[in-house]
Structure 1
Amino acid sequence: MTSQTLYVVAITGALLTQGVLADADGTLPPLAKLRFDEDYSDMRNQPAATGWPERVKYIPFGKSGPSYVTLGGEIRQRYEYTNNPTFGQSPQDAHGVWFQRYSILADVHWSPRFRLFAQLNSALETGRAEGPSPVDENELAWQNLFLDIGFASADARVLTLRPGRQEIVLGSGRLVDVREGPNVRRTFDGVRGFYLCDQFRLDLLATRPRTDEPGVFDDETSDRYALWGAYATKARPLDTAGNLDLYYLGYEDKNALYVQGSGREHRHSIGLRYWGEQNDWSWNWETLYQFGHFARDDIHAWTLATETAYRWQQHPWKPQLRFSVNIASGDKNPDDGTLGTFNPLFPRGNYFSEAAVLGPRNFYNFHTFVNILPTADWSLTADLNFFWRLQTEDGLYSPSGQIIRAPMGSDSHFATTALSLTAEYTFFRGLVFTAIYTFGNPEAFFRDTGPADDLSFTELTLQYRF
């Protein structure tokens, strides 16, 4: 047994032992995808906590007033093995890859108007045949470091200004997400403001992503990419069920690359999303149109994404059936002066599966899921994805926008079929074990244009957040 394996076993044992004390009565709010969204202010009216992790969630300071500090963190250990990466196109890792991610955070509430949030992250990688990619390793960096300045009125209207480094998720993360799947999460430098009023929220942002460098405190603000815009959400529009999002996002890439060529990209996105749940149904439907300029060409692109689910709440194991049908434009002709390839901007890395091979450009797919809950702590999911190219004059792209396979004269649309199995078990609040297996079968387009081996992907993750 290697020293690294012993280290992981020791961490696991310590966490399981600690779990006996971990929020046994469920008094703490749920852990959030964005840790700064967690609110522990209600603990000021409760007796001083003595157990773990309650005692670090509300630490008052000062003689009076609502000033307090919240501490938190994360330990994530992940093993991945991919057989025939990118269907045999990418180098083969000999024994798989081990990823480690650690973070520690402090949320300082000086007053109802002023707040400082700081989070340090360390992401490490071992075993990658090509060496770590930018999303694999970042030894030490500020993941979040921002100040909230709040302005509240008597009628419950709140305006907050947030300058600094910050993670951003807009909507369901189809266009802007923290990229939780990879080892290094995405974050931005800039300014964000949001206005809250009853059932309405408006976000304004002007940001640039952080460069992901592998060393210690060597990240900078990107001068290649920029993101700005406005995102509004209205609950129960026209007194109907669900929520409605309306948004505009501006995007710049000084060195964009498509099958059509390379050049400066200046793109605008106008979108609409309708989402929510009622009784046993849930839905998430979104469409948007993009326009702008790429090099000397115009941009005209679009997408439509739908996800509809039904869960039998009254049946044993509460089975859920979910259907997702999606389409995104591609480029019809690289020489016609118009770029038709949709750009998902800053999406999650695991858009279609944890294998994270394909990105949402120039495609249409049908994706179906079956989920069961044998116990309150255990979730099992099987999903099947059929994936096609939309335009035969355009290629396929990775989640980060790199060209995976150029068209090479192939007139085939069918690209791949993928089956994934996922098991997730929650030991206690914050400690989750996940096992994933994905099998990908290359279809006609991959067979026409290069390596086309069956892909298999295995992932084992143990994650503890407090």
Structure 2
Amino acid sequence: MKARFAVVAICFISMLVIRAQETVGNQLEFSLLRQNDEILIYPADKNGLYEKLKQLQLGKRSTLSFGGSYRFQSEAFINEQFSAELDQGDIWFLNRFQFHTHLKVAEKLELFAEINSSLISSKANLSPVDRDDLAVNQFFARYIFNDQWNLLLGRQNLRLGSGRLVDIREGPNVRLSFDMAQLEFQNPQTNVTAFYAVPVRLEQGVFDNDALDLQESVAALYWTQNWNKSNSTDVYAIYKEEEAKTWDSGTADDNRLSLGLRHFGSLGKIAYNNEFVYQTGSFGNLDIRAWTASFNLEYPIEIMGNKGVVGLKTEVISGDKDADDGVLNTFDGLYPRGAYFGRVARIGPSNLFDIHPYVNTNLDRFSLELDYVAFWRFSREDGVYGPPLNLQYPSDNTRRFIGHQIGTITSFAVNRSISLELETNLIFPGDFLADSGLDDTLFHTVFTAEFKF
């Protein structure tokens, strides 16, 4: 089975490489959210099959475009749960297909539809984000009132700011979608978005995901202001309601308001991206008082004559101080990226203090990244959570240090449509894990090949 999937993936990628060579003349920019793709194809350039099908001109002011992607991943662990006593033969294969169509009518109306098929083989215990045989990933209509105001209704992948609290969950096999209503104001300096959204609950079959399941919902007002070329801020309020949420202190309905400020830009050669969030609300009969502060600085460098950056991130994320004081201090990261510190997906944004230096560089079509992260529990009375904010390791000892993580990412851009990437991670358990009987070094690797058209 593994060999068959590998052969299919290799043949598919090879076919796409050949096809991609026919599209060199296209002027295309693929975005993470494909509704934001930049497509510039002039009638005089339409001399190939790809150009004729990629974007159709419908009258003078309307277009219909098509696109999609295929992503193959092979992922493996050794000591996946920091224990050599468990099965060490874990290697699985993931395939994700996406196809979309985008209709733009007279600069007034947009219709965007995207289907997704996320498949996996050779993995025994599936998480909710591993498999979704066939589903509607996005399907929305946007009405454009004028140059500043637009209204969106439907299903959408969503990313706010740097993706710290609301992201599309690109790392895992299945993206995060919301059924939502959104009103947006924008001009060159200002963007204000207000929305009410319900996250789509995943099932593994064909078109069987639950829509408008009000066990969980989120409403937000998000304001981005570009003060000048090097100084911008995000100010936001996000209110989330979730039934039967589980933290280390128990399970109850969690209703919380997140008030945030992000300051980003550059000062001379130094780029910065700093964010502070305070949360209040209720968890059952407990009051919520939680917070986080994140700091990120980058400085440009040269490595062997090639441009790169050296950076430092650090985060302080509150955890619960006392299970019996009537207050919950555990921070809720809301909808963060599925793998918060690399695709290894072991440590998530709650009850955490980390120091994260890194260096990145580009060598022609190669890009290389090396990073190191040291993790501590912020509170000794709270547990350690995974990226989906599920309780991974309960607080069963008073140790604070979780462990060290060393990661590498090597990427190669075959052309603008095809990219290859190899990521590796080592996590060395600290005292907290070791005293819980989890004292074996975790190794993780994932190979990714992706084609976009």
Q: Scaled by the length of structure 2, what TM-score is found?
A: 0.96
Structure 1 distance, partners of 2:418, 2:23, is 10
**1:232 corresponds to:** 223
Select the residue among 159, 167, 178 that pairs with 1:177. 167
Aligned residue pairs total 451
Secondary structure of the corresponding residue to residue 59 of structure 1: strand
- For the 8 Å contact 2:78–2:90, the answer to whether it is kept is no
TM-superposed deviation, 1:91: 5.9
How much does 1:419 deviate?
0.3
Find out whether 1:385 has 2:386 as its counterpart: no
> Match for 1:79 among 57, 74, 81?
74
Q: State the Cα deviation string for residues 375-406 of structure 1 (Å, max 9, x = none).
A: 1x210111000000000000100111111111
**Is residue 408 of structure 2 the alignment partner of residue 418 of structure 1?**
no
Counterpart among 119, 128, 136 of residue 123 in structure 2: 128
**Corresponding residue for 1:27?**
27
Tell me what 1:263 maps to: 252
- The alpha-carbon deviation at position 8 of structure 1 amounts to 1.2
Report what 2:176 is aligned to: 186
TM superposition score normalised by structure 1: 0.93
- Structure 2: distance between partners of 1:262 and 1:49: 59
Q: Shift of the alpha carbon at 1:56?
A: 3.4
Structure 1 residues 282, 22: closer, same or farther in 2, change over 3 A? farther
1:399 corresponds to 2:399: no
1:23–1:54 Cα contact (<8 Å) kept? no
Instruction: Return the offset for 1:50.
Output: 2.7
Instruction: Tell me the CA shift for residue 312 of structure 1.
Output: 2.6
Question: CA contact under 8 A between 1:93 and 1:129: conserved in structure 2?
Answer: no
**Alignment match, 2:354:** 365
Shift of 1:223: 2.5
Distance in 2, matches of 1:89 and 1:212, equals 32
Q: Matches of 1:373 and 1:70 in 2, distance apart?
A: 32
Deviation track 1:149-175 (CA, whole Å, cap 9, x = no partner) reads 1111xxxx4211110010100011110
- Whether contact under 8 Å (2:5, 2:93) holds in the other structure is no
Instruction: Assess if the C-alpha contact under 8 Å between 2:198 and 2:217 holds in 1.
Output: yes
Letter in structure 1 aligned against 2:247: Y
Q: Say yes or no: does 1:443 pair with 2:442.
A: no
Inter-partner Cα distance in structure 1 for 2:43 and 2:371: 44
Aligned residue in 2 for 1:165: 155
1:47-101 deviation per Cα after TM superposition (whole angstroms, max 9, x unaligned): 242346444332112xx33111110011000000011113239964624010000
Corresponding residue of 1:2:
3
Amino acid at match of 2:27: T
Residue 215 of structure 1 and its aligned partner are, at CA, apart by: 0.1
Output the CA distance in 2 between the equivalents of 1:3 and 1:143.
Answer: 27
Residue pair 1:92, 1:129 contacting (<8 A) in 2 also: no
Contact 1:56 1:72 in 2 (8 A): no
Q: Which amino acid aligns with 1:158?
A: Q
Superposed, 1:54-453 pairs within 5 Å as: 54-61=51-58, 64-88=59-83, 92=87, 94-130=89-125, 132-152=126-146, 157-221=147-211, 222-236=213-227, 239=228, 241-277=230-266, 280-312=269-301, 316-375=305-364, 377-408=365-396, 410-453=397-440
How much does 1:335 deviate? 0.7
User: Which digits, 9 at most, give the CA deviation of each residue in 1:167-186, with x for residues without a partner?
Assistant: 10001111001100000000
Q: Runs of 5+ in structure 2 lacking a partner?
A: none
Q: Over aligned residue pairs, what C-alpha RMSD do you find?
A: 1.8
Q: Given the superposition, is the C-alpha separation of residues 12 and 240 from structure 1 closer, same or farther in structure 2, using an over 3 Å criterion?
A: closer
Distance 1:91 1:179 in 2: 28
Percent of matched pairs sharing the same residue: 28
More deviation in 133-142 or 223-232? 223-232
Counterpart secondary structure, 2:414: strand
What code does the residue aligned with 2:15 have? Answer: A
> Would you say 1:459 and 2:446 are equivalent positions?
yes
Per-residue CA deviation, residues 242-284 of structure 1 (Å, 9 max, x unaligned), is: 2110000000111110111110010000100011246643221
Is the CA contact 1:22–1:429 (under 8 Å) kept in the aligned structure 2?
A: no
* 1:5 positional shift: 2.3
The CA distance in 1 between the partners of 2:329 and 2:192, in whole Å, is 30
One-letter code of the match for 1:9? I
Farther off after superposition, 277-286 or 334-343:
277-286
Q: CA deviation at 1:449?
A: 1.8
**Residue segments in structure 1 that go unaligned for 5+ positions in a row:** none
Q: 1:320-367 CA distances to partner (integer Å, 9 max, x unpaired)? A: 101001110000001100000000000001111210111010010000
Q: Contact 2:20–2:417 at 8 Å: present in 1 too?
A: no
How far apart, CA to CA, are the structure 1 residues paired with 2:85 and 2:76? 13
Q: Which has the higher strand share?
A: 2
Distance 2:137 2:231 in 1: 32
